[in-house]
Structure 1
Amino acid sequence: MTIAWKTAITLGALGLSTGVASAACGIESGSVRVLSNDFPALHDVVEKAKECAGDGVTVTANQTAEHESLAVPALSANPAEYTSHFVANSSLQPLLSNDLIRPLNDYIETYGKNISERQKIKIGDDVMVIAFDANAQHLFFREDILKEAGIEPPKTYEDVLAAAKAIKDKSLMAYPLTGTYKAGWNLAEEFVNMYLGMGGEFFEPGSAKPAIDNEKGVAALEMMKSLSAYMNPDYLTFDSNSVQAELESGSAAIANFWGSRYGAVVDDEGSTPEIAGSIKVAAAPTVGGGTIPATTLWWDGYTVAKNISEADAKATFIALDHGASAEMANANPDAAVWLIDGYEPGPGAIGVLDSMNQGAKPYPMVPYMGLLHTALGAEIVDFMKGEEDAAKALADTEAAYSAAAREKGFL
C-alpha cells in the first residue's frame, strides 16, 4: 500500500496561488457530523464550515482528545455516527483497514477545484483525505530569558541542556524546560522524535519486525531522561495543555512543542504581553550529531465516511471544503501552517517550515506503527521514573509490540 504526500513546502509555495472560497456553500440539504481532535486549528475549520448550516443543512462536531478510540466504532455503524473524521498520519490507517471512508476523486472534480495537489493524500490513485495543515513539534523559547542567561537560541539538544543549566544556575527559573512527556501517547511521541533525530529506524527493512533495541534507542532515552531533570517533577503528567500553560505563565523558557499551539501561546489569553512577546520559535533541535531536526512532520485532514447517504457525503465535502478555505486560513494565520492555496504564513509558521526544509521526516504511516507507539507509551515510563535501565525498557517495548503485532497478523 502506497500512501503519498508531497512534503516539499516553502513560504513561497504556500503563497503562490490565490484560490478563493465561495461565499455561499450551495448545499441544499444534508447532515454534516464531524469527529476530530481538540485543538485550535481544527476548531477554526469547523467554525468556518458551520457557515454552511441552515435551510435543511446541519453542521455539528465532537472535538475530543479521545477521537481515535471513538472513530472505528462510530464509523462502522450504518449509518455512521459521524460523516467525517479529521485524521492525521497516525489515525488514518484504522479507517482504511476497516473500509470506513470513501474515495474523494469525484467530489474534488465537481466541488473542490481549488484543492491543491499537496493537499491530496492518496492510496494508489484514490484521494482518501484532504490535508489542510502541516504540523510538527519545534523549538519554542523565551528570547528575553536566554539573553539574560547570556546564551544563544539552541540548535541541538546538547545546546538545550546547556541552556537549561545556565538558566537554572543563574536562578532565573526553577524548571527551565517543559515538554509533552505525559505517560502514554505523548511520551512515546517524544521518543519517536528523538530516535529519528538520532538516525534510527523503527523496523527492519521490508518487515514489521521492531528495530529500536539498539545504541540509538538507548541514546534517545538517555537524552529524554537528561532533559527531564530540568522539568517540573510532575512532567509525566504533562500534555499539550499543560505545556501551553507552562509557557504562558512564564514557568518554562524552552520547549519542543506543537506548531499548531503557537497562536494560542502568544495570544492575549493566559499570559502577559511581556511573556507572550518574548516567545520565539525555530526549527526543532538536532541531537547526537545528527543533521535533521529531531521531530516528525504531521498533517491533519478531513475524510468522508463510507456508511452515509450520498446527500450527507456531498454536504460534508462541500462544507469542509468551505471550512478549509484561504479565507479561514488567513483569518487564523498562526493557528497552523495551512496547506491551502492563498494562505500567507504568519510568524508562527517558521518553526514548522524550517524543520521541514531542514529534512525532518514524516511520522511513519505503516499500519503497524500505532502498535509500536502504544507499546512505547507504556513500556518506557519505568525508565523515565528511574525504575529500570534503557536497554530493559526497549526490550520490553519490542516484546509488547511483537505480541500485539502477531495478534494482528503483522508478524
Structure 2
Amino acid sequence: MANVTQWALRAAATVAIASASNVYASCGVESGKVSILSNDFPALHAVANMAETCASDKVTVSKNQTKDHRNLQVAALKANPAKYSSAIVSTSSIVPLLNEGLVRPLDDLVAKYGASLQPSQLIRVDGKVMAVAFMANSQHLFYREDILKLAGVEPPTTYDELIAAAKVIRDKDIMANPIALNTKTGWNLGEEFINMYSATGGDFFKGSSAQPNINNAMGVKALNTLKALTELSNPDYLTFDSNVTQSLWEDGKVAFAVMWGSRGSAILDDEGSESDIVASTRLVSTPSLEKGGLPATTLWWDGWTVSKNLSDEDAEATFKVMVKATSTEMMKANSEKAVWLIEGYQPNDAAKGVIDSVQNKARPYPMLPYMGSLHSALGSELSDFLQGKESAEQALKDAEAAYTASAKEQGFL
C-alpha cells in the first residue's frame, strides 16, 4: 500500500485555518439511500446527527454506531448492495476494506462535489482518493493536578516518572490503584504495546518486508513498561476498554489515565463527574520512555468512505451527505468534541493532549496491509506475560508466531 497522503495532523497542531468556508447551504441530494456504520463516541455522534439532517421524502439516512463496527464492516460491505453506504474508518480499520476492494475511489466525486474539502483531508492510496479524513486522534495522558499536589509529585514526562509518582500516591494511601489504561485483552491491549514500541523508534517489520521485528530488546522494554503500569492499576485491568477507563476517571478513582483524545470533551464537560475532578483534570502529551524521547503513542485519522457495492445514485447521495456531515457547519457546532481536520477549526482545551503529542513528534500508526494481523496477534498473546505466566521474550515469540501464521494464510509471507 503506497503513497498514502500525509494527512493534516501536524498542520492541525500549529495552524488553525480561519478562511471563509464553502459550506453547502443544503445537502444537495435529490434522492438516494445513505446508511452509515461507525464507532460510538461523541464526535461521531455529531457527524451522524448532521448527516441525518439531509433526510427527506426521497432521501433516507440511517446509522449504526457501535463499538463492534470493526467486526461488522467487511461482511456488511461485501453484500451486494452493501449493507452500509459509508463506513467511517480510521488509520487501521480502512485496511481490511482496501484489501478486499470494498470501498470505491472518490476522485470523480471529489472533482464534482468536493469543493469544500481541503486537499490535506484526502487520503490517497496508490494515487487514488479512497477516504476523506475529518478528525485526528491519539491516546495521551490525563492526570489529576490536585492528586499530584497532594502526593507532592510533579507532572511526569516519562513513563519512569509516571510509575514513580503512582507509587508515591499508592504508598501515601491516596489511591490504591492510581493508573488506568485501555488494556482489555484483544485490540486494546495490542494498541497499548504498539504505542510503547513506537516510542522506542523501532520498526515493526524488517525493512520493507512483512517479517515481524518485535522480539528484541525494544519489544522487551515496551512490555516491561506496560507491566509496571498494570501493576499500579486495578487487578481487572484486562477488562478495561475506553468506556471503563473513562468511567474510572469520572468516578475519581485514578490519578493517571492514558485515553483517546476523542474522550477529552466528555471528560471535561459537566456531566458524569464531580466539578472538582473536572477542574483538576489536565490533558498533556503521552509520556516517553526516556527524557526527550518520542511519545509512547500513535497518531490516527478518522474519515469516511463510500462503499463499492452501491448504485451510482446511492454513491453520489452518500458522498454529498458525508460532505455535509463533516462540514464547517457541523464542526463549529461541535468544536470541542475532536481535533477536527476541517476548515476553520480552532483547537481548544480538549485537543491539547493530542496536539502536544503531535508537536512532540509522535509516530503515525503504520498503515500497512499486514499491520492488522500483527495487532491482533499482540492483543491475544501478551496477557500471559502481564499476569506473570511467561517471560517477555516468550510472549513476543508467541506473538510473532501467531502473526506469521496469519500473514502466511493471507499471502503476506
Place the TM-score, normalised by the shorter chain, in its bin: over 0.9
Query: In structure 1, what residue type is equivalent to 2:134?
Result: F
Q: Equivalent of 1:120, from 114, 122, 125?
A: 122
Larger displacement relative to structure 2 (105-114 or 399-408): 105-114
Aligned residue in 1 for 2:139: 137
- CA 1:368–1:298 in structure 2 vs 1: closer, same or farther (change >3 Å)? same
Residues 91 and 110 of structure 1: is their aligned pair in 2 closer, same or farther, counting only changes over 3 Å?
same
Change over 3 Å in CA distance of 1:11–1:391 after alignment to 2? closer
The aligned amino acid for 2:402 is A
Q: CA RMSD in A?
A: 1.2
Structure 2 vs 1, CA of residues 278 and 140 (structure 1 numbering), >3 Å: closer, same or farther? same
Question: Is the CA contact (8 Å cut-off) linking 2:157 and 2:291 kept in structure 1?
Answer: no
Equivalent residue number for residue 228 of structure 1: 230
Question: CA deviation digits over 1:167-198, x for unaligned, max 9?
Answer: 11222111111010001100010000001112
Name the structure 1 match of 2:33: 31
Asked whether the 8 Å contact 1:9–1:357 carries over to 2, the reply is: no
Maintained 8 Å contact 2:137/2:299 = yes
Q: How far is the alpha carbon of 1:270 from its aligned partner?
A: 1.2
Q: CA deviation at 1:124?
A: 2.5
Q: CA deviation at 1:12?
A: 4.6
How many angstroms apart in 2 are the aligned matches of 1:70 and 1:168?
A: 41
Q: Give 1:191-230 correspondences, 5 Å limit.
A: 191-230=193-232
Kindly provide the CA deviation profile for residues 335-389 of structure 1, in whole angstroms up to 9, marking residues without a partner as x.
1100001112111111111111211111001100100111101110100111111
Out of 6-15 and 40-49, give the one that drifted further: 6-15
Contact 1:330 1:344 (8 Å CA) reproduced: no
Match of 2:5 in 1: 4
Unpaired segments ≥5 residues, structure 1: none
| Range moving further from structure 2, 132-141 or 283-292 | 283-292
Per-residue deviation at 1:13? Answer: 2.2
* SS of corresponding position for 1:94: helix
Q: Which residue of 1 aligns with 2:95?
A: 93
The one-character-per-residue Cα deviations of 1:8-66 (angstroms, maximum 9, x if unpaired) are 32445233333142231121111110111111111110111111011311111111111
Judge which range, 337-346 or 7-16, deviates more.
7-16
- The one-letter code of the counterpart of 1:291 is G
**Letter matched to residue 67 of structure 1:** H
Q: 1:299 aligns with which of 280, 301, 307?
A: 301
TM-score (norm 2): 0.97
Q: In structure 2, what is the Cα distance between the partners aligned to 1:73 and 1:127?
A: 23
Check 1:357–1:11 CA distance in 2 against 1; reply closer, same or farther (3 A cut): closer
Q: Which residue matches 1:381?
A: 383
* CA separation of 1:214 and 1:289: change in aligned 2, threshold 3 A: farther
Residue matched to 2:335:
333
Q: Deviations over 1:130-171 (max 9, x none)?
A: 000000001101111111112221111011111101211222
SS in 2 for 1:391: helix
Letter in 1 for 2:364: P
* Deviation for aligned residue 1:107: 1.4
CA contact 1:89–1:365 (8 Å) conserved in 2:
yes
1:245-264 CA-partner distances (Å, limit 9, x unpaired): 01101000111110000111
Identify the match of residue 190 of structure 1 among 178, 192, 197.
192
**One-letter code aligned to 1:134:** A
Equivalent AA in structure 2 for residue 131 of structure 1: A
CA deviations 1:185-243 (Å, max 9, x no partner) are 00010000001112221110011011100011011111111011111111110000000
Query: Aligned pair in 2 of structure 1 residues 40, 124: CA closer, same or farther (>3 Å)?
Result: same
Aligned residues: 411
Q: Does structure 1 retain, via aligned residues, the 8 Å contact 2:85–2:315?
A: yes
Partner AA of 2:280 in structure 1: S
* Structure 2 residue ranges without an equivalent (≥5): none
Q: 2:171 matched to 1:169?
A: yes
Q: Deviations over 1:115-135 (max 9, x none)?
A: 111111001221110000000
1:52 alignment partner in structure 2: 54
> How far 1:274 moved relative to its partner?
1.1
The percentage of counterpart residues that share the same residue type is 52
Q: Please report the TM-score for the alignment, with normalisation by the length of structure 1.
A: 0.97
Q: Among residues 239, 242, 256, which one is paired with 1:240 in the alignment?
A: 242
